[in-house]
Amino acid sequence: MNIPLIIVILYVIMLLGISIIVSRKARLDGEDFLLYKGKNNTLMTAVTISGLAIGGASTIGIAENAFSVGLSAGWYNVAWAFGAIMASSLVVKKLRRSGCNTVTKLVESIYDEKAGLMITITMILIQCTIIALQYIAGGSILTSLLPDVFDMKTATFFSFIIFMLVGFVGGMGSASISNILNISLIYIGVIVSAIGVLINQGGWEAAKQMAIASPEIPYMSLTSGMGIPAIIAWMLVMCGNTNSVQGAIQIGLTSKSDKAAVNGFRIGALIMIPIGFICAMLGVASKALIPNVEATLALPMIIMSLPSVIAGLTLSGLWAADMSTACSMLIGCSTTVSQDVFFKTKLGEKFKERSFIVNKIIILSVGFLTYILSSQLGTILSAMKVSLSMAIGSSIVVVAGLWFPKFASKNAGFLTIISSVLAAVAWLIFPGLHEIFKDIGYLMLFVSGSTFVITSLFGKIKVSRVMEEQVC
């Protein structure tokens, strides 16, 4: 009897059951289906934002990275948490009070339509990349842990189908509610596995011995492996995403009140942090216990050596991490396509009364598009951080427009966002930039920050005048 597979199947049934229940309770309201505005309390907001953050990169990706940088790999989740806290202080409350449902509408109300168009393009690109990566990560987990059931192709397709169905059937409501189950499974699975590997199998002692035998690699250091510059760069990138990417800050709109939104983001940040360092510990222990295996295979092999029930819970937890990120981003991307693209066209105007059905079709379309994108494995992985870093420019535009309207010029929005796109292209084309800036986060901050400041210094028309005339 394949107990891990049975546990995964039961988990899938529970997810789809949640989606069906949510869909029956929901009104046939297209906007409510995508936004789920004013429904979540503080705890629900917290598990939704933490579920978005704790994806494949935040669990199994950290464990793999720990092979080369040690415990400091866990700082990836701290960077996410830092971004969530910054968003709770800078953007969430102001977005709620603006009356805008999307980042594009907010940017258009502050700057102009050109800036709105550019941020729409970057939002779609960033979110599609993240979604596609979750299909890949989900496929990798299922393939590694259930090799007799899945190969990479079928596992990726299975992950895509389930992730998309949860969003398609229940919308943002199911993405929010299912995160109670997802976060619980993630923590139960990873903590139980950590006890089994680190204590029962002697993984922690083996890791300490390995660190002594290989002093050139700071396995047990909390900072030396990644290094402070790299940690700061990830914080910059994550601040960009949490302050401007639709899939992230849209979660603030689901809260019942400003207080629930702000506190939910902050509690969610606290939920994110421990799982990162636990997974880093598992990664280091896996390296010590199975020294000659590839990083991508070590953690799955260690997990499958545990009792089958524990292995099944951990598998479901890791897969739940991908699902929670994919669903929230899929809904966020579909919101961007729906409200900022389709319903702005003449064809969209004709179908506004059928927005509920239209939004479901858009979710299907975005889902299939990102599945096709996921087949370009190498291209996506190499471009992931480049794509995510573009949100730094978008974040500067959003935060500065909200907090410093008397300084920001009307043209700064469009020029800053387009400069971030050009910086991303330059990073890919000119390898010499890697030696100068070391990390694309620093290049993006320099280019987009300089563009915004210079454009605003010399721009005569400030956004404060535009804001008085345009309201969401």
Q: Give the Cα separation of 357 and 389 in Å (integer).
A: 34
Sequence spans of domains, the chain: 3-383
The correct answer on CATH 1.20.1730.10 for the domain covering 3-383 is: yes
The DSSP bridge partners found for residue 462 are 409
Give the DSSP H/E element, type plus range, for residue 307: none
DSSP SS3 for 223: coil
DSSP state of 196: I
Per-residue pLDDT of the chain (472 residues; tens, 9 = 90+): 578 788 888 888 888 888 888 777 655 555 677 778 888 999 999 999 998 888 777 888 888 889 889 999 999 999 999 999 999 999 999 999 888 888 999 999 999 899 999 999 998 888 888 888 888 888 888 887 788 888 888 999 999 999 888 888 878 887 788 888 888 888 888 898 899 899 988 999 999 999 999 888 899 999 999 999 999 999 999 999 899 989 888 999 999 999 999 999 999 999 999 999 999 999 999 899 888 877 777 777 788 788 888 888 888 888 887 888 888 888 888 888 888 888 888 777 777 777 778 888 888 898 888 888 887 755 444 556 787 888 999 999 999 999 999 999 999 999 999 999 999 999 989 989 999 998 899 999 999 999 999 999 998 888 865 444 445 6
Contact assessment for residue 77 and residue 62, using Cβ atoms and an 8 Å cutoff: yes
Amino acid at 464: S
> What residues contact 27, with CB distance under 8 A and at least 6 apart?
none
Q: How far is CA 447 from CA 121, 390, 437, 442, in A?
A: 19, 11, 11, 9
DSSP SS3 for 88: helix
Task: List the structure tokens of 338.
Answer: 């729906």
Q: Give the Cα separation of 15 and 322 in Å (integer).
A: 13
User: Treating both helix axes as pointing N-terminal to C-terminal, what angle do 377-389 and 113-145 enclose, rounded to 10 degrees?
Assistant: 140
Q: Give the Cα separation of 127 and 241 in Å (integer).
A: 10
> What residues contact 385, with CB distance under 8 A and at least 6 apart?
237, 440, 441
Q: Give the Cα separation of 366 and 329 in Å (integer).
A: 10
> What residues contact 394, with CB distance under 8 A and at least 6 apart?
103, 119, 122, 123, 240, 244, 245, 417, 420
Q: Give the Cα separation of 160 and 156 in Å (integer).
A: 6
> What residues contact 240, with CB distance under 8 A and at least 6 apart?
83, 388, 389, 390, 391, 392, 393, 394, 395, 444
The pTM assigned to this predicted structure is: 0.89
Task: List the structure tokens of 240.
Answer: 């960009």
DSSP state of 73: G
